[in-house]
Amino acid sequence: MTTLGVNIDHIANVRQARKTVEPDPVQFAFLAELGGADSITVHLREDRRHIQDRDVFLLKDTIKTQLNLEMAATDEMLGISKKLLPDYVTLVPEKREEVTTEGGLDVKKNEKNLKNFVKILKNSNIKVSAFIDPESNQINYSKEVGFDFIELHTGRYADLKGDAQYEELQKIIESTYLANDIGLVVNAGHGLNYQNVKKIASINNMNELNIGHSIVARALAVGLEKSVRQMKSLITSN
């Protein structure tokens, strides 16, 4: 059964807009878990635009599910992750000028550096995932580098309509099967919402979907616990 990881970065975005103490993403993680979240995802960015260091350490100490730390493959983040020891790390590309993560990590281009980075994390008993586009060469290189998981970037699928969206869905399905065949666990995320999530959730052996923006947006109307519960219901109704 596909599980749900809830990204709470956007809660921290509201807090950081005023550089104050509320809303506290750590408290909202508790509500997400009450709603059925199977894991909590946060992206600790270089510029600390939303999630802060204190958030990740408090989350590690307080949440009852799993902590997925999204981060760039930098020395600073490596040091933090070795102190934090999250349940797993998802390596993502990161550019200061982007609003949110755009596109997947180029594992092929960065194979040598990533192989050493992943090895260090795994030596600390941290499982490691690569956020990649649904492309066969990126999947194969992810296996070669030593990743335990991949997270397929669903942003293009979310943006497309009609036949083009169907074609992108087929790429995601084929990518999932390929990754499973070579021993990788498959997650997916980016741009998923209450209208487009079911087709991704119904893919055989899809492990987990990481969703943030659409859940937080709906929470403005119905509350976070209920918005998580509604998304969980869509994902598990197959």
| Contacts by 76-83, CB closer than 8 A, 24 or more apart | 76/46, 77/44, 77/46, 78/117, 78/120, 78/121, 80/44, 80/53, 80/56, 81/121, 81/124, 81/126, 82/120, 82/121, 82/124
Residue 50 annotated in active site: no
Q: What DSSP character marks residue 51?
A: -
The Cα–Cα gap between 2 and 236 comes to: 6
pTM summary value: 0.94
8 Å CB contact between 227 and 6? no
Alpha carbon distance 238, 233 (integer Å): 9
Catalytic residue among 50, 153, 190, 225: 190
Residue 114's pLDDT is 97
State the catalytic residue, choosing from 33, 70, 135, 208.
70
Cα(176)–Cα(172) distance, integer angstroms:
6
Domain layout of the chain by residue ranges? 3-236
pLDDT at res. 74: 96
| pLDDT of amino acid 111 | 95
Q: What does the pLDDT look like over 29-69, one tens digit per residue?
A: 999 999 999 999 999 999 999 999 999 999 999 999 999 99
Whole-number average pLDDT of the chain: 96
pLDDT tens digits, residue range 24-37? 999 999 999 999 99
CATH 3.90.1150.10 is the classification of domain 3-236: no
pLDDT of 238 over the 90 cut: no
Per-residue pLDDT of 145-173, as tens digits, reads 999 999 999 999 999 999 999 999 999 99
Per-residue pLDDT reduced to its tens digit, 89-137: 999 997 655 545 567 999 999 999 999 999 999 999 999 999 999 999 9
Q: Which of 43, 50, 94, 153 is catalytic?
A: 43
pLDDT surpasses 80 at 87:
yes
Which residue in 84, 140, 134, 81 sits closest to 108, CA to CA? 140
Tens of pLDDT, residue by residue over 4-28, are 999 999 999 999 999 999 999 999 9
